[in-house]
Structure 1
Amino acid sequence: MPAGPSTSRRSLNAATTRTAMEQPAMAVWALTARGCDLGRRLTAELGSSLFVPQKYAAHPTERAFQHFASAFPEQFSRFQHHVCIAATGIVVRCLGPLLRDKTTDPGVVVLDQEGRFAVSLLGGHLGGANDLARRLARICGGQAVITTATDTAGLPALDLLARDLGLVADRPERFATLAAALLDGERIQIFDPDSLLWPRLSELGFAGLFKTIGEPISWRKDIPGVWVSWRRPPDEQARLGLHPRRLVAGLGCHRGVSATSITDFVHEVFDANRLALPSLAALGTVQARHGEPGVHSAAATLGVDVAFFSPEQLQAVWTPNPSEAAARLVGTKSVCEAAAMLLAETDTLVVTKTKGAALTLAVALRSRPGDLRDFPE
């Protein structure tokens, strides 16, 4: 394998992925003197930031505020989790206007000043509030209050499983649809040809809630289902697609190409070949296009990383559709096919070179999920 590409790095799924570099982990809010005492104890245990009324501030590290109703909204999106040692009603009134999306809203737990009850109020699953409430209850010797239906019914939290397994949902709102079906006692069909989700469900004891589908032709449109694949699923109302980030695309383009031209062409090729766009992990192209704003902007729009290979790296790869014209222009007989193969670390292609207006695209499949942080440097 030739030396690895130079890369441009970014979060693969900015809409749903939160990292410690992007957001501090936790804010603890206290409103009363007794609540501040509990907040200091929790802060020492959790390594969180402590917010207290100005009149109760006792240490330079404590962040003082005048009014909770104005201070909390300012900090809401800056933390992954909020612990509010306060009355539930006060927090609810502040939260209402702040809510945006269950996949990105932080987790919020309300705790009484005695530490008796830790109430998971917002973001129980993806926001981590359920687990945080349980942790707080253990620290305080109190009780976690969890009201999410799947938890109370002992059913699988598909959104958490998908996140932990690196599967990207095509329509996250449909997690709720499937949860409702499970709560109603319906059996969910699951198409998982690469065994990405099913083994975990079986290991957790949920096999009886699902019916495995061996072939796409066996998929039924009249019952809810989970489609786990890098291929695009059927478009039924009760279907949820969960996709591993295993596809990489090699891109050939002329100078001055626009981001819109690239993204439209990627969509076109993926649609034509029934590939799941959420499975796209990276774009790769020749080093000569490193300075093209359209390439970087398209990668950002698609939410993927982009790699740039030297002509020597690309020329060393055998490809099915070499081009003498490309060799004259950029010093290698293949750009899109060779780049896709290098990114996927494979010698086969899912989609061979496809031509568009001043563009070419090829797609390959990695043997394992990943982004450019996993590719050789």
Structure 2
Amino acid sequence: MTDKKISIFSFTKKGGEINIRLMDILKENNISSYTLEKYLTDERMRVLTDLKEKVKKHFSDDAIIFVGATGIAIRSISGYIKDKFSDPAILVIDELGRYVIPLLSGHVGGANELAEYIGAALGATPIITTATDINGAFAVDVFAKKYDLILSSRKLAKDVSAALLDGKPVDIDSDIKDIDVSGIREKLNPSHSKCDLTVRITDKIYDENVLTLIHKDLYIGVGCKKNTDIKKMLDFIYQVFRGKGLDIRAIKAIGSIDIKKDERAIVELSNSLSVPFYTFTKDELKKVEGEFNESDFVKETVGVGNVCERAVLIQCDKLILKKTAKDGMTVAIGRS
């Protein structure tokens, strides 16, 4: 348990002692610790004044831990709760350190995992209430988090969990060679019967009734004329991906030549997809080996005859779509 932003709140003398122990247990993380002024016994602690304001400030943290009554925790977080896919892990520990209770984001936010970790260190009992955990059932959201996969549909994810809890079979398979689910498949559908629900680990597009766990393993190289319309660029990329049957959410990074680092259409594409945009010099791109569809015009303009294909292969080792062009825009796609 490292490199997380975690805030801790305590309200009593004994709670402060647990607070200090938690700071030691979680010392590999970025900790913000608060308690009432009269219980400040450690220089790492800060004075707690307005609890709700402090909770609001830290609600973007990875986890918030309350050492005290669950009622205090619930009242202080009630105005900021959104959903389990965006809320931080919320935990409550009694002031004697006997029980650790994950209140919110048990799976996606990691509250259950954190409760188990803290419980082992404190000698406390984790109180886990999540249905899939207590029934020992496969939890698709936990699996997705483990492999850094994106759930294509929250509704379908809930349907899969409900089906498994009802003892119904679910079909699962993987298009990603590094993620083997053969053992899980046998567990979820031991009789190999026809299933109403299907799960696929993939970077491809499936029917909307299939829950896809999207693996971000695609890289694109792009180019465009100066001042290309942003919407036009977005539509172009979406069209190319749909045509190839690839899920655009599987893009891991965008690459281009350095003279395009401030090109608004590409910058906005990066922002829209929430992926990094890397640029490379013409000399770096020239060093990329391979057979490319060269353009004399592009070579005269930027110094290298093919930007998009080279910008893919400088990021990954396999080109799966060569340069595709439309109205002065180009894109190539690769897979890691």
Q: Out of 142, 145, 168, which is 1:163 matched to?
A: 145
Aligned partner of 1:148 among 98, 111, 130: 130
Determine if the alignment matches structure 1 residue 43 to structure 2 residue 23.
Answer: yes
Q: How far apart are residue 158 of structure 1 and its match?
A: 2.0
Q: Which deviates more from structure 2 when the two are superposed, residues 292-301 or residues 246-255? A: 292-301
Structure 1: distance between partners of 2:324 and 2:40: 64
- Per mean C-alpha deviation after superposition, the further-off stretch among 273-282 and 329-338 is 329-338
Contact 1:284 1:307 in 2 (8 A): yes
Aligned equivalent of 2:309: 337
Distance 1:72 1:280 in 2: 34
2:161 counterpart residue number: 179
In 1, Cα distance between equivalents of 2:157 and 2:264: 36
Q: Structure 1 CA distance, aligned partners of 2:292 and 2:65?
A: 57
Task: Indicate how the Cα distance of structure 1 residues 252 and 49 shifts in structure 2: closer, same or farther if over 3 A, else same.
Answer: closer
Post-superposition shift, 1:359?
A: 0.5
> What is the aligned partner in structure 1 of residue 235 from structure 2?
264
Alignment deviations for residues 136-192 of structure 1 (CA, whole Å, 9 cap, x no partner): 322332211001111001012222222222322223453222111111111111231
Structure-2 separation of matches of 1:229 and 1:342:
23
Identity of aligned residues (%): 26
Q: Which of 178, 183, 188 is the equivalent residue of 1:209?
A: 188
Shift of 1:320: 5.2
**Relative to structure 1, is the Cα distance of residues 29 and 255 closer, same or farther in structure 2, using a 3 angstrom cutoff?**
same
By how many angstroms is 1:124 displaced?
Answer: 0.8
SS in 1 for 2:278: strand
Q: Distance in 1 between matches of 2:295 and 2:320?
A: 19
Look up the match of 2:245. Answer: 274
Structure 2 contact 20–42 (Cα < 8 Å) conserved: no
- Counterpart of 2:278 in structure 1 is 307
Asked if 1 retains the 8 angstrom alpha-carbon contact of 2:292 and 2:306, the reply is no
**Equivalent position of 2:221 in the other structure:** 250
Distance in 2, matches of 1:364 and 1:137, equals 44
- Structure 2 unmatched ranges of 5 or more: none
> Once the 2 structures are TM-superposed, how far is the Cα of residue 211 of structure 1 from its aligned partner?
7.1
Partner of 2:266 in structure 1?
295
One-letter amino acid of the counterpart of residue 333, structure 1: G
Aligned to 1:117: 99
Distance of aligned partners of 1:313 and 1:70 in 2 relative to their CA distance in 1, 3 Å threshold = closer
Distance 2:227 2:88 in 1: 40
Counterpart in 1 of 2:205?
232
Q: 2:48 aligns with which of 65, 68, 72?
A: 65
Q: Is the 8 A contact 1:35 1:114 kept in 2?
A: yes
Deviation, 1:198, is: 3.6
> Paired residue for 2:62, among 73, 80, 85?
80
> What does residue 217 of structure 1 align with?
none
**Residue number in structure 1 paired with 2:196:** 223
Amino acid across the alignment from 2:186: A
Say which SS state the counterpart of residue 97 (structure 1) adopts. Answer: coil
SS in structure 1 of the partner of residue 226 of structure 2: coil
Q: Which TM-score applies when normalising by structure 1?
A: 0.79
AA partner of residue 234 (structure 1): D
1:357 Cα offset (Å)? 2.3
Letter of the 1:64 partner, please give it: V
> Which residue, out of 295, 312, 318, partners 1:323?
295
- Deviation (angstroms), 1:328: 2.6
- State the Cα distance separating 1:120 from its structure 2 match: 1.0
1:165 and 1:359, CA in 2 relative to 1: closer, same or farther beyond 3 A?
A: same
Instruction: Give the corresponding residue for 1:139.
Output: 121
Q: CA deviation at 1:300?
A: 2.1
Of 288-297 and 271-280, more deviation after overlay is shown by 288-297
Give the 3-state SS of the residue equivalent to 2:314 in structure 1.
helix
CA RMSD of aligned residues (A): 2.6
Post-superposition offset of 1:206: 6.5
Calculate the TM-score normalised by the size of structure 2: 0.88
Q: Cα 1:293–1:111, aligned 2, differ >3 Å: closer, same or farther? A: same
- Matched residues in 2 for 1:157 and 1:150: separation? 6
> Quick one: which amino acid aligns to residue 352 of structure 1?
K
Counterpart code for 2:321: V
Question: Contact (CA 8 Å) 1:188, 1:211: kept in 2 or not?
Answer: no
Specify the SS of the correspondent of 2:21. helix
Deviation at 1:110, TM superposition (A): 0.8
Q: Which moved more, 1:170-179 or 1:315-324?
A: 315-324
Q: Residue in 1 aligned with 2:14?
A: 34
- The residue identity in structure 1 corresponding to 2:207 is P
Against the structure 1 CA distance between its residues 32 and 272, is the aligned structure 2 distance closer, same or farther, given a 3 Å change threshold? same
SS in 2 for 1:99: coil
The DSSP-based 3-state class of the residue aligned with 1:39 is helix
- What's the secondary structure of 1:352's corresponding residue? strand
